[in-house]
Amino acid sequence: MPFSSLASPLDVELRPDKPALLRVDPPDDAPRWAAEHREALRAHVTEHGALVVRGLGLRDTGQAGAVLARLAGELMPELEAFAPREAHGPGLYASTPWPANQPMCMHHELSYRLEVPGLMLFACLTAPGQGGATAVADAEEVLQALPGGLTERFERDGWILTRTYNDEIGASLTESFGTADRAGIERYCRANAIDFTWQPDGSLRTEQRRSAVVRHPVTGRRCWFNQIAFLNEWTLAPEVREYLVDVYGADGLPFNTRHGDGTPIGEDIVQLINSTYEAHARREPWQAGDLLLVDNIRTAHSREVFTGERQVLVGMGEPLRPADDCPATEASER
Give per-residue pLDDT as tens, 165-216: 987 788 899 999 999 999 999 999 999 999 999 999 888 999 999 999 999 9
In a domain, 331, yes or no: no
- 132 and 38 within one domain: yes
- Report how far residue 64's alpha carbon sits from residue 56's, in angstroms, rounded to the nearest whole number: 10
CATH number of the domain enclosing 89: 3.60.130.10
User: Is residue 264 in a domain?
Assistant: yes
Q: What single-letter DSSP state applies at residue 265? A: P
Same domain, 230 and 146: yes
DSSP 90: T
The model's pTM is: 0.92
* Whether 153 and 109 share a structural domain: no
The pLDDT score that the predictor gives to residue 68 is 98
Helix (H) or strand (E) holding 215: strand 213-215
Q: Is the pLDDT of residue 45 over 90?
A: yes
Domain count, the chain: 2
Burial 298-320 (b: 16+ CB within 10 A, else e): bbbbbbbbbeeebbbbbbbbbee
132 plus 145 within the same structural domain: no
238 and 121 in a common domain: no
Encoded amino acid at 121, one letter = L
Non-local CB neighbours of 59 within 8 Å, separated by 6+ positions = 125, 288, 289
Across residues 124-146, what is the average pLDDT? 97
For residues 102 and 180, membership in a common domain is answered with no
| 180 found inside a domain | yes
Residue 4 included in any domain: no
Nearest of 110, 144, 43 to residue 321 by alpha carbon: 110
Query: Is residue 229 included in any domain, yes or no?
Result: yes
Please report whether residue 230 resides in a domain.
yes
Average pLDDT of the chain to the nearest whole number: 92
300-to-180, 187, 205, 278, 322 alpha-carbon distances in Å? 31, 30, 27, 11, 15
Same domain, 249 and 270: yes
Contacts of residue 152, Cβ cutoff 8 Å, sequence gap at least 6 = none
Same-domain status, 163 and 237: yes
126 and 224 assigned to the same domain: no
Range of the domain at 118: 20-137+283-320
Amino acid at the residue 25:
D
Give residue 322's Cα distance to chain centre.
14
- Say if residue 38 is in the same domain as residue 74: yes
